[in-house]
Structures are given as C-alpha cells and as structure tokens.
C-alpha cells in the first residue's frame, strides 16, 4: 500500500490547505459546485485540526475522530470501492460488497489520519469556478505550492450523486498518477487469486 500512502498524503495537503480563487458573487451563484465543496471541506477540516493541536499531540487518536467526522462524509468511498472491484463486482454478493466497502473506508480513514500528522503548511491553489454544464463527474485542477520545491499538479475527480445532488471526491490524479487506479492495480490481482473476502480481511487488519 506504499503508493496509496504517498498519494493520500498529497490528497490531505490539498484538502486541508485550500486557497480559494472563487469570488463571493460566484460562490453565491453556485454554492453546491464541486469547486466550493472542496473549499468547504478544507476549511472545516483544517479549522478543527488547528483548534485541537494540543489535544492531538497528547492523544493522537483524536486525529482519527476528526477525519471520520470532517473528511470521510465528503469521500465517495462506496463508488470508489466499486470502481476498485471492477470486473470482480458482479461476482460478489451484497454482503461481500458491503464488507469490502466498509474495510476500504476504514483503511482510507486510517491512512488519511496518519498523513495529516505530516502536514507542513503547504499552499494549494484551485482553478477558478466553472459551470459544470450538467456533468455528473467533474475534474478540478489544483496546484500544491511549497517553498523551494517543484509545484505539484493534482486533479480531483468529483462525482455528483444523482439522488441528493451532493458532490463528493472519489479519485485524485497526482502528476498523471491516479490514486484509484493505483489501488485497483494493487488489489485486483489479489482479489483474483485470493478472493474478495480474503482481501477484505486484509484491508480490515490494516485499518487496525
């Protein structure tokens, strides 16, 4: 899971340090756009972390709680999990799918919490607000800017739920490398060889 850890660290650097380039008037016109959703996630998550710095140092497990409450509701982990299962999805039962999604969610939350401990105040700039033109999946370009280091280009893939209209992140592409594709490539062979239940057990163990 090394690739997952590296990419999720970059994910959190983006979500917790976002610098909005959207004007107040544009925000008023499109309050629920994928662009404004990312900004909102970052502000709430980072604000809570900043307000609990001393407590987090004493009780590192508090970071896990913050991630569960502030970040995970904005991650479309079910859709991402189904994409990871790919061709194996149709061979799974409802119960197997539910357990796989839960294990993936818990493993991602653990990885996010660990990555947040390495936050170093990087600056991140999002592309300007745009009309989605009815698209249900939108790619939001961002740049991670760090002093004396090359700028990193990141693209967030956001998906709008057909029923609720809510936008959530399901993938990110860092310098051309997709987090979702990396996880799928790592787990697909294991699922084919060991079965989805065994892989689910391994993911659950990692989450602990």
Q: Where are the domains of the chain?
A: 2-207
Residue 179 main-chain phi, psi, to 5 deg = -60, -45
Lowest mean pLDDT among 2-6, 45-49, 70-74, 120-124: 2-6
Q: Please state the rounded mean pLDDT for residues 73-102.
A: 94
Which residues contact residue 107 at a Cβ distance below 8 angstroms, ignoring those fewer than 6 apart?
203, 204, 206, 207
Residue 208 pLDDT greater than 60, yes or no:
yes
Per-residue pLDDT band for 55 (boundaries 50, 70, 90) equals very high
The pTM of the whole model exceeds 0.85: no
Rounded CA-CA distance 143/111 in Å is 22
Structure tokens at 174: 């860092």
Residue 83 pLDDT greater than 60, yes or no:
yes
H-helix segments, 17-157: 24-29, 34-51, 53-58, 61-66, 77-85, 94-116
Rounded CA-CA distance 182/117 in Å is 23
CATH 3.10.450.710 matches 2-207: yes
Q: Is 112 helix (H, G, I), strand (E, B) or coil?
A: helix
pLDDT tens digits, one per residue of 60-69: 999 999 999 9
């Amino acid at each position: 899971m090394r690739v997952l850890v590296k990419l999720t660290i970059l994910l959190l650097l983006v979500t917790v340090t976002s610098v909005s380039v959207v004007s107040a008037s544009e925000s008023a016109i499109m309050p629920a756009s994928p662009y404004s959703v990312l900004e909102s996630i970052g502000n709430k998550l980072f604000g809570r972390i900043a307000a609990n710095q001393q407590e987090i140092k004493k009780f590192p497990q508090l970071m896990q709680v913050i991630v569960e409450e502030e970040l995970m509701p904005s991650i479309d982990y079910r859709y991402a999990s189904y994409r990871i299962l790919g061709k194996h999805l149709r061979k799974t039962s409802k119960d197997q799918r539910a357990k796989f999604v839960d294990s993936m969610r818990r493993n991602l939350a653990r990885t996010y919490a660990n990555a947040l401990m390495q936050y170093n105040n990087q600056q991140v700039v999002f592309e300007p607000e745009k009309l989605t033109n009815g698209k249900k999946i939108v790619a939001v370009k961002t740049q991670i800017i760090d002093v004396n280091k090359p700028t990193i280009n990141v693209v967030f893939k956001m998906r709008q739920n057909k029923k609720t209209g809510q936008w959530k992140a399901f993938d990110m592409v860092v310098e051309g490398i997709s987090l979702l594709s990396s996880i799928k490539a790592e787990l697909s062979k294991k699922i084919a060889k060991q079965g989805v239940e065994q892989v689910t057990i391994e993911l659950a163990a990692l989450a602990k």
